[in-house]
Structure 1
Amino acid sequence: MLQRILDSEPDLSPSQIAHIQQQLYQDRNTLARLRQELVLCLSDITIVGVEKTQGIQFFSINGQGSGYAPDNSVPLIAQRTLILRVYVDCKRVQQQGPQHLPIHISGSVIVDRIRTNGSVTRVATLKPINGPIAARSSASIDRGDPNHTLNFRVAASDCQGLLRFTVTVFEQGPVVIDDVLGAIYAPRPSERDTWLPGSATTTAAAPAAFSLKVHGRFEPVPTFRVQAVLVHYTGGGQNLPAPTGFDFADTLEYVLKTFPIGRLEFEDCIEIDFDKNLSTCGGGCGPGFEGPGGLMVILKDLDDSSDRPAIRVALIPSDARMCVGGCGNKNIAAAQDGRGATLAQEMGHALDRKHAPYAPGWEQEEPPFPQYGDYPLGSIGEYGFDVVTSEVYDPNTSHDFMSYGSDRWVSPHTYVGLRNEIVERFSDASFAGLADGRFSPSGDPSQETLFLSFRVNRDGSVEVHPSFHLPARAQPPDHTSTSDVSCELLDGKGQVLGFHRCRARGSHVDPDGPHIDFHEAIPWVDEATAIRFLRNKEVLHLHDIEALAPTVKLPASGLRSSEQRLTLKWEGHHPERAVTYLVRYSRDAGRTWRVVAVNSSKSECVLRQRQLPGGEQCLLQVVASSGIRTHVAQTKPFSVPSEPRSATILSPKSTSETTSTGQALLRGGAFSSDYGLGAPEDVVWSSNVDGVLGRGFELIADGLSEGAHTITLTAPDGQGGVATASAVLRVVLPD
């Protein structure tokens, strides 16, 4: 009737037309709701919700969920595996008596990509990874049981852009089919899906089947860069070999499951010798980590003197005796081999995440951790889901990995916070800001910067540790809270050349402890002769800067190369002070630098050529510090051949693994320092038994045939060839 009025009355005023259109919209919504209720009443089987999770998600059913935010409001990350948990209500279960045979539910999902021009492309048709499941009423669904929902896995390589999921569920079992009315279903607002006009429909096409269309939009997140620092540990009377790159990848697996990472890229991996005692406690993480020459100091120097943003992660042998499990600070983290949850916490600190509470009386840090409903303090707040194993983490017993609680997983608070920090830290806009000087007060993208390390003791005394100054790209804005400590650069007449307010960093900083360590980046002025340290404007210490910088002499013969190794030796000297060194490498005539050796008192460096990206104008640079003043010497240009990508399979292992489920996690890729990691769609997995399995850096292969499989990964090597790796997998299916 209202539509007829609009069509037949040309003299209606704009306000009358708007009122009628609004009434039409409301009436159509009411009709859609009535149709929905009719479908739900007449259908024996209905979908009451679809949870879209990549590890953690807001969702509420039967009081299971925090209700802290709308359903499915944790953002979806591009190139990250997605699980659709389909919640099914079966009325027939309530109607039948105890003598009826059990009913089971199965289903399928059709995945379509909707492009910006409106075209639709078929991506995949999925079977459930756990079906069929026992039918039940919606009131009896336990969100903590993975087999109370039909679960569908969407491959990471498919999770990009806008996807439409057509979810169909149906009964399997000895049931009687009655006629049922087909109807159109409009989505409930609480489902918070990305609905497209005219496409959100559900059809009860048969009494034992039900279909629902939902959508997911995947947000691109910058590539997450990690540099592995493998520690050969000789401290505390031990002599433990460094973990391997495969050990690092295994320990990182927990991080990959819980961090909002779509694409991971490894920087070059380096190995260091470390002889400080990590088992000595006191002063935050302990002097072995944060004292002079400590592991965190080495990592900080490594980060300060490298051009490419990355999280520098030290992996310590699993048998090392340690006072704490690990340590983390901005851009740097350290943990023991095999302790994935600890590494996740320390890498969280590297991305400025604070500790989460885990017991009453825990002092909250800013910003405060949310209280999720009636769940315990520090709970993950929602039901976590391991997309590889289908293990569910119960918020009644599972704590956020940024806490010291039990059965740790990730909360929405930490997950979204990490996503925001990764976007800011690694985005192209941040790189552009670094390159064009946008974040530098002077606008100079390579401002000479003093990387100053010092300790303030409880009594106010100050110890200055070996520091250096280099041309360095300015950093993006630092959100770490400032402390009451500051420092000034002074000239020979005591005039202030520069002022800097220091920041309180570190995951274990105790303001009432015996000391606090600082690592600051300060614009350097050559005329500086002293550094004045202050606390709340009270002078704590005046440190005289040595008058002379050290000298470094490189051999006239240059580098010595043998069996894919480069050896560089030099002579360093200072008349009064000890000299410490770091060595940097450039493939592009000094435009960018990466550190290859750090915090060394030795005047020699041995490098493996395979770890160095190739180029025709390569340089090695020795940076020598006598405390503050720094001297730089570099080699003449030399060439290093480019290396093609080398393929690596991280899972399954190279030795035979066995699965009894017909399902296997495939993880790997092809990398070289010259050509990087490549695109995920270029990585192809295949089996000599079942043929092509899929694409991507990570793939969960379902429905594998019984028997021995040779799993092969292939990817372009960057030089026109193909990089290949293989592993053996044995599938033994239950009888």
Structure 2
Amino acid sequence: MERQMNAQDRPELDALVAAVARQLAGPFRGKPVQPDLEQLPLPWDPQHQLPDVLWPRRHLALAGLELTQSIQYNGAVGVSYGDDNSIPLVALKPLVVRAYPYVQPGVAEPDTLTGARVTGELVLSVGDRIVYRTGPTRADGARLGARNELSRELWDNELTVPVGGPGALAFHLAHVNSSLNFFVPAWYCRTGHFYLSVRLWRAGSDGALSAPQDRATTGRYIDFMDVRPPRVAVARVNWTDSSGNVTSPADAIMLSTMRTAERMLPFPYFETTILGTSTNSSAAFASAATGGGCNTAWTGLLADLAVTRIFTALFQLGDIVFAFVPSAAVPAAAGTYNTGCGRAEGVGAAFAGSDTRFAYDFIFAHEMGHVFTCNHVAVPGDSSDDPNYPNYGGSKTSIGEVGIDPGTTPPTLFGPSDTSDVMSYKSKQWISPYTYLKILNARENHQSAPADPRRVRSLLILAVRVHRRVSDENRIEIRKAYRIEAAGMVSRPSDGAISPLSVDLLDAHRRIIATHHCLYTRAQATCGCCGGGVAVPLDREPFYDLHEAIEWPSEEVAAISLHDGREPLATFEVGEPPQVDISGPERRDQFLALRVHARHPRAQPSIVVLFSGDDRETWQPVAFDPPDGEVLVESERLPGGERCFFRAIATAEFRSASADSSQFELQRSRRRLYLRLPDPQCPIAPGAVPLGAMIDCRGLGVVRSDEIRWHSDLDGDLGLGYELVAQLQDGRHLITVTAPDGRGGSLAERGIIIVGGRPAGVVGQAQF
């Protein structure tokens, strides 16, 4: 719909007005601004229609196509940083295709195209089989005009702006036109080789029979690459305030906080399991950071999560562990404070919930960037900034391209002139091509292979704290030590990791049986309303923590020696095992209660509690070092089975002992499905309505996009996928989303949407 400029449009239109007036020439200099539209940085399509050399006729032409899933790499503002559209396309992520039609001038003939509208269709095919066919997202098409009137920062609308200035005879109206946009749902973007074609024609005419000058066609082969979804184990932090009130983030809040990152990052979705274990804390997470790093609350939490991550990886629950702290932990009057923290070791934590000051979904995406080896981008005073981040035309933080969030209606566009990279501390953020590719190339850092239950190994899980050397005295603290047997593997950080400490396993004659090299990655914080800081050298830190899974070769190990490559810093003897008892379980509403008691004459034993639902064939961790020996586990978060057991393993002096509970039967658990509807406070107009499904996999494997189905009692089947933009007619819709429950059945969630200006609401969950 064409519209006139009004007062509230002024800030966002200033750059476009200047561009139309051709007051900008060349690439960015200093502060990023809107590029010159006459030299618009559109991807060039070599198959666009060329005019007749002898007698050029006015005709419909294409400046090019853009294929975008969240960001692309196209060479902005006349400066090339790579091949057009060189960002790989990821399978099972929705695809936005933008066609840029314009009027190619002719000679001595009336102009019947300028101001007309153009429509078209997109066809995705494999060989001679059409996979998907769709029309543009705007029913009445796009306005045609000159090539220099095209803008990449408009979506399905055009502007009429006054152009003129001092010295001009008069103001005149200029048009700024958007692309013709097509949306391909995630389900159709399968792994493989496809042909994508776009046909355009003048609106109101037949696309096949219209005159040649009134139609245009282009096409290309594209590939969607298979990217495994990261397995993320989510931990909940129950936070207690100074008055003793306990606040916990709900499952749906935690899952919802992850959704923007799923659309932004180069993954189709996350395989998320919310752990049954949680952390109780009253720490000051909102206190300011020191030295540009994480404050002590986040540092302590990440140290605990690092141990949890080793167990979730070994027992196949997740390769990344992320904790969410309720936003209630942020004081109302907080100024500068940490909002999260992440490490390439595979752990991170952040606030979840709603806050008018910060978008916590973007903070989660930021911390996931740290997990995948990304450093900060141009944070003032931060010496750990990424020195290789490209200077996109003069800006130190600009994303350099137009980003697209297809999860909103209409899609949100992020222009390079006012949007900074998600790894920066700027207020308006999206992902850049550089960060997108860096995360994509680091995706295998946290992708473990399936465990072979026939290859169970004896392991020592070790948490070591190395304190700063004082007066030639070394202090090394063994914070946790667990001896267990497991079949899984733990991925180890590589990029940016150092090895400040090694562990020698010694026999009774002090001969080295095996050596393990520890790896360390520095934690990086996200800070609200503050700059960074100088990274303190490791040997000047008050302490640093290491978390390792060390293969225990045999019972001949008599001691372990910790050293930095020179003389031993500390040696610890292998002693006698503890004694451990377990009683229960006792059913308490939705919980199972256990009592675990471990004792040792000289040391405080470390305890891990495991659960098996298949007569002790496989196990998963459910609790660590339970306070006062009592373990409470939500029964519905356990796999369940006919022959279930709990096992308590206690470790002291690097020797372990175990005890099993009595056998019991437990109903098999299923995945949990949540429905996300539009904001109930926003009127819902007929047309495109965004819908979203969120799934807690509960260790039962990932749910593919094609397994999630949407239905309306008015409009019938709506489509497939985690997220869907549905075309809904006026009326009251009962929306149903279904997904497999992981046990051979299905789950369903239902909600009501009233289209026509009234709010939406969820009415409950049904399971089949």
Question: Which category describes the TM-score, using the shorter chain as reference length?
Answer: 0.7 to 0.9
Aligned to 1:111: 123
Aligned partner of 2:564 among 532, 535, 546: 535
TM-score (norm 2): 0.76
- Cα distance in 1 between the residues matched to 2:247 and 2:691: 28
Segment of structure 1 superposing worse, 605-614 or 319-328: 319-328
Deviations, residues 231-263 of structure 1 (Å, cap 9, x unaligned)? 101277764311001101221122112111214
- Cα distance in 2 between the residues matched to 1:130 and 1:578: 70
What SS class does the counterpart of residue 207 from structure 1 fall into? helix
Aligned to 1:222: 228
Deviations, residues 586-636 of structure 1 (Å, cap 9, x unaligned)? 233444332222243331212222111133343322232346443332234
Deviations, residues 453-478 of structure 1 (Å, cap 9, x unaligned)? 32332534323212222223333464
Question: Closer, same or farther in 2 for the Cα pair 1:576/1:360, shift >3 Å?
Answer: closer
What SS class does the counterpart of residue 213 from structure 1 fall into? strand
Matches within 5 A, 1:311-390: 311-321=320-330, 323-329=337-343, 330-338=345-353, 339-351=360-372, 353-358=373-378, 363=383, 368-389=387-408, 390=411
What SS class does the counterpart of residue 503 from structure 1 fall into? coil
Deviation at 1:417, TM superposition (A): 2.5
Aligned to 1:435: 452
Aligned to 1:47: 62
1:581/1:599 contact within 8 Å kept = yes
Aligned partner of 1:260 among 256, 262, 266: 266
Deviation at 1:731, TM superposition (A): 2.5
Corresponding position: 1:462 with 2:480: no
- Cα distance in 2 between the residues matched to 1:156 and 1:94: 44
Deviation at 1:306, TM superposition (A): 3.4
Deviation at 1:721, TM superposition (A): 5.2
- Cα distance in 2 between the residues matched to 1:90 and 1:311: 51
Corresponding position: 1:708 with 2:732: yes
Q: Give 2:689's aligned amino acid.
A: A
- Cα distance in 2 between the residues matched to 1:42 and 1:165: 28
2:706/2:720 contact within 8 Å kept = yes
Deviations, residues 139-187 of structure 1 (Å, cap 9, x unaligned)? 23222333421111111111113333331223348x9x9xxxx9xxxxx
Q: Give 1:150's aligned amino acid.
A: L
1:314/1:335 contact within 8 Å kept = yes
Question: Closer, same or farther in 2 for the Cα pair 1:227/1:719, shift >3 Å?
Answer: closer
Matches within 5 A, 1:669-684: 673=698, 676=701, 678-684=703-709
Question: Closer, same or farther in 2 for the Cα pair 1:248/1:277, shift >3 Å?
Answer: same
What SS class does the counterpart of residue 314 from structure 1 fall into? strand
Deviations, residues 537-574 of structure 1 (Å, cap 9, x unaligned)? 244x324346222211123xx42235443222222212
Gaps of 5+ in 1: 1-31, 183-201, 438-443
- Cα distance in 2 between the residues matched to 1:298 and 1:57: 37
Structure of higher RCO (CA pairs closer than 8 Å, 6+ residues apart): 2
Matches within 5 A, 1:652-667: 652=678, 658-660=683-685, 662-667=687-692
What SS class does the counterpart of residue 482 from structure 1 fall into? coil
Aligned to 1:8: none
- Cα distance in 1 between the residues matched to 2:619 and 2:108: 72
What SS class does the counterpart of residue 484 from structure 1 fall into? coil
Q: Give 1:167's aligned amino acid.
A: V
Deviation at 1:358, TM superposition (A): 1.3
Aligned to 1:199: none
- Cα distance in 2 between the residues matched to 1:295 and 1:716: 33
Corresponding position: 1:570 with 2:596: yes
Question: Closer, same or farther in 2 for the Cα pair 1:361/1:266, shift >3 Å?
Answer: closer
Question: Closer, same or farther in 2 for the Cα pair 1:672/1:382, shift >3 Å?
Answer: closer
- Cα distance in 2 between the residues matched to 1:709 and 1:59: 41
What RMSD in Å do the two structures reach over aligned CA positions? 3.7
1:549/1:631 contact within 8 Å kept = yes
2:378/2:385 contact within 8 Å kept = no
Gaps of 5+ in 2: 1-45, 157-177, 332-336, 354-359, 525-534, 759-768
- Cα distance in 1 between the residues matched to 2:465 and 2:479: 5
TM-score (norm 1): 0.80
Corresponding position: 1:207 with 2:238: no
- Cα distance in 1 between the residues matched to 2:74 and 2:720: 30
Aligned pairs, number = 655
Question: Closer, same or farther in 2 for the Cα pair 1:410/1:45, shift >3 Å?
Answer: same
Corresponding position: 1:619 with 2:645: yes
Aligned to 1:87: 100
Aligned partner of 2:577 among 539, 545, 549: 549
Corresponding position: 1:453 with 2:464: yes
Deviations, residues 454-513 of structure 1 (Å, cap 9, x unaligned)? 233253432321222222333346424323333333444443333232222133374243
Aligned partner of 1:689 among 714, 736, 739: 714
- Cα distance in 1 between the residues matched to 2:154 and 2:417: 14
- Cα distance in 1 between the residues matched to 2:78 and 2:469: 46
- Cα distance in 2 between the residues matched to 1:418 and 1:593: 32
2:61/2:103 contact within 8 Å kept = yes
